[in-house]
Amino acid sequence: MKVAIIGGSGKMGQWFTRHLLEEGMEVVITGRNQPKLLAAGKKLGVPTATNIEAVKKADVVVISVPLDTFETVAKVIAPYVREEQVIVDLTSLKTKPVELMHRYFNKGTILGIHPVFGPGAKSVSNQNIVLTPTNEEEAVLAGRARLYLEEKGANVSIMTPQQHDQIMAVVLGLAHFIAIVSADTLLGFQQFEQMKKIGGTTFKVLYTLVESVISEDPELYADLQMNFPHIKEVEALFLAKTQTWADIVKNDDKQGFAKKMKVLREKLEKTDPAFHNAYENMYRITDKF
């Protein structure tokens, strides 16, 4: 099978190229910056092409470009998409790219895919992947993709693009926001190195989160913050909750704090069966320290 990866010179594009080559597929990659594209092609041992050439030759087209260039790419390749082709996108948001694919591609079968992992992942095994079909034809394709991915050990979820984006506003959006604000706060203190040296497991968990977010691409993370639906409401709720807890501390209300924390624990115990593994999970996360 011939696969064209639009944006194959980028981080996720290169990751998927390696994965597809291991699966015995033929891959051609594209990118804007020619020296970068040629270097990626050489490193991966795959041919490079323009977006149009790549789409013309492919059975499957994978769009792996940032959200802000998605429409430009869709417009350019649209006239060359054929009826028998499959076109998938890897964007971390789903509503807008899926809507753009429907708007511009009147041939072929499309499918929105979000690999909920970064280019540091070793394989798809144990990774979460969301598929967002919007009609029967796409649901059939999603069913086939699910079987393939589950065979490789991935955890696959199927939902609408809108559901995906709402959940991701919290799962990614809020988590990134907390990590970024925590980094900004931690750097306001002297003795940062000492903190790392003597910090216990909770600090290690926090710092692992901070490191993993701050080392990522700022453009991508800014794109996500600006585009997740309802992210402003999610972050406003977080700020209001922060204020409530800070007020309890400011008022030296030890009883109130403990009571409220106990209520949180009871709620989590009821809603999350894995809650009791908290310590085990924390040590697993901080193994690398």
CA 206 – CA 146 distance, rounded (Å): 33
For residue 194, state whether it binds ligand NAP (rule: CB under 6 A).
no
Cβ count near 129 (within 10 Å): 21
Rounded least distance, CB 13 to ligand NAP, Å: 5
Count of residues interacting with ligand NAP (CB under 6 A): 28
- Strand intervals (E) in 106-175: 109-115, 128-131, 155-158
Of 20 and 248, CB closest to ligand NAP: 20
Among residues 64 and 286, whose Cβ is nearest to ligand NAP? Answer: 64
Whose CB is nearest to ligand NAP?
10
Binding residue (CB under 6 A) for ligand NAP from 3, 20, 27, 31: 31
Q: Kindly write out the interface string for residues 61-80 of this chain, putting x where it contacts ligand NAP by CB under 6 A and - elsewhere.
A: ---xxxx-x--xx-------
* Sequential DSSP letters for 220-285: HHHHHHHHSTTHHHHHHHHHHHHHHHHHHHHTT-HHHHHHHHHHHHHHHHHH-GGGGGHHHHHHHH
For residue 7, give the nearest of 101, 72, 57 by alpha carbon: 72
Q: Does 244 bind ligand NAP (CB under 6 A)?
A: no
With respect to ligand NAP, which residue has the nearer C-beta, 118 or 199? 118
Stretch that binds ligand NAP, among 27-35, 100-108, 131-139, 270-278 (CB under 6 A): 27-35
For the CB of residue 144, give the shortest distance to ligand NAP in the complex, in Å.
21
Which stretch of DSSP H or E encloses residue 86? Answer: strand 86-89
Q: Does 49 bind ligand NAP (CB under 6 A)?
A: no
Euclidean distance between CA atoms 260 and 248, whole angstroms: 10
Does residue 175 belong to the site contacting ligand NAP (CB under 6 A)?
no
